[in-house]
Amino acid sequence: MPTVSSVLGPLDVADLGFTLTHEHVYTASAGILHTYPELFGDFEDLRSQVVSTLTEARNGGVQTLIEVSTLDLGRDVRFFADVSRRTGVNIIAATGIWRDIPRALWNRDPDQIADLFVREIQVGVEGTGIKAGIIKVANDREGVTREAEIILRAAARAAMRTGVRISTHTYAPGRVGDQQVAIFESEGLDLNRVYIGHSNDSTELDYLLGLVKKGAWLGMDRHQSPAPIGPDAEGRAQTLAALIKEGVGDRVMVSHDWSVLGVSRTSDPRASRVSNPDGWLFAKRKLFPRLLELGVTQAQVDALNVDNPRRFLGG
Ligand SMILES: [Zn+2]
């Protein structure tokens, strides 16, 4: 059986169980926890909020979280390992770079950056021995900029060298997934290894089905209402039901892109429950019952977060 690196060591993909494919324990900025820790409020309070939220998710049936925070989102793999150990939720950490591409990488060769990602996958992050199990990249409204293209090519090369999958952030209303796919194709990467995230910020089935036809997976991974971009939760449920009826339910995964604390907005971890009182259980509590009402079968619902992540990571 293939394995994926979790923050506590290799995990047989058959043991992933119910998996949320795009989440964040918290989001911040590179180095800020050490330089301006007061922006996190009381860090021990954050730790206990994360532990209780993960425990609630675990009791609700969530077994694995793919934590797609990178260096520039303030990733702390030691913290992930600690809360994973305390709660029993498997956490898969990311290498790669999000939207705040460090200037130190702007003029590097993609192969040199790929070496950095490969080290985090094969040796570990920051000398911890904790290995990344996914490669994250991000392109928003501006599309794929010159610097971002270097990161995308590095990610593709690291994915081909290691077999580790790529998870993207996109601006779906601008069809940015198509730009990412074009670069991955030019690198010779098998698109079966690529998850195009935030795809449900779009309701355009021709765009979404086009990505699937190319071989990529779709992350239907935003569900809060009201949403900063894209449709409300009902619109997202309808788009997902439509995709399943189009026969591509075996190419989509559901998650929330939710975090206990978003440091760029607040220091209070309780604030993020205001917009989403269900936390990491929103899909189970609200989305899945609505999908059933829209004519999706229980077996099709069950595949979204169990069979599909297992096939994506280990297929
Ligand atoms: Zn995210």
pLDDT of 207 higher than 80: yes
> What is the reported pTM?
0.98
- Annotated active-site positions, please? 22, 24, 136, 169, 198, 201, 223, 257
226 upstream amide cis, omega within 30 of 0 = yes
pLDDT of 279 higher than 80: yes
What is the whole-number distance in angstroms between the Cα of residue 219 and the centre of ligand 1? 11
What is the whole-number distance in angstroms between the Cα of residue 20 and the centre of ligand 1? 12
Which pLDDT does position 198 carry in this prediction?
97
245 CB neighbour count, 10 Å cutoff: 13
What average pLDDT does range 232-247 have in this prediction? 97
pLDDT of 169 higher than 80: yes
What average pLDDT does range 102-119 have in this prediction? 98
CA 112/CA 102 separation, integer angstroms: 14
The contacts found for 183-191 with CB under 8 angstroms, 24 or more apart, are 183/144, 183/149, 183/152, 183/153, 183/156, 184/152, 184/156, 185/214, 187/153, 187/156, 187/157, 187/160, 188/156, 188/160, 189/156, 189/159, 189/160, 190/215, 191/215, 191/216
Which pLDDT does position 59 carry in this prediction?
98
Residues with Cβ–ion distance below 5 A, ligand 1: 257
With left for phi above 0 and alpha for psi between -120 and 50, is residue 44 left, alpha or beta? alpha
CA 194/CA 189 separation, integer angstroms: 9
What is the whole-number distance in angstroms between the Cα of residue 68 and the centre of ligand 1? 6
CA 207/CA 278 separation, integer angstroms: 30
Q: In the chain, pLDDT over 70 holds for what percent of residues?
A: 100
pLDDT of 108 higher than 90: yes
What is the whole-number distance in angstroms between the Cα of residue 136 and the centre of ligand 1? 9
CATH placement of domain 3-314: 3.20.20.140
Which pLDDT does position 192 carry in this prediction?
98
The partner residues of 50 in beta bridges, in order of sequence, read none
What is the whole-number distance in angstroms between the Cα of residue 291 and the centre of ligand 1? 23
Which pLDDT does position 231 carry in this prediction?
93
Helix ranges restricted to H, the chain: 32-35, 43-59, 77-87, 110-122, 146-162, 176-186, 205-214, 233-245, 272-275, 282, 288-293, 298-305, 307-314
CA 229/CA 277 separation, integer angstroms: 19
What average pLDDT does range 127-135 have in this prediction? 98
- Average pLDDT of the chain is 97
What DSSP element (H or E) covers 95?
Answer: strand 90-96
What DSSP element (H or E) covers 254?
Answer: strand 252-254
Residues 6+ apart with CB under 8 A from 133: 4, 5, 6, 11, 66, 92, 93, 94, 121, 164, 313
pLDDT of 227 higher than 80: no
Which pLDDT does position 223 carry in this prediction?
83
pLDDT band for 180, please (50, 70, 90 cuts): very high
pLDDT of 224 higher than 80: no
pLDDT of 1 higher than 80: no
What is the whole-number distance in angstroms between the Cα of residue 313 and the centre of ligand 1? 18
Residues 6+ apart with CB under 8 A from 210: 178
pLDDT tens digit string along 24-53? 999 999 999 999 999 999 999 999 999 999
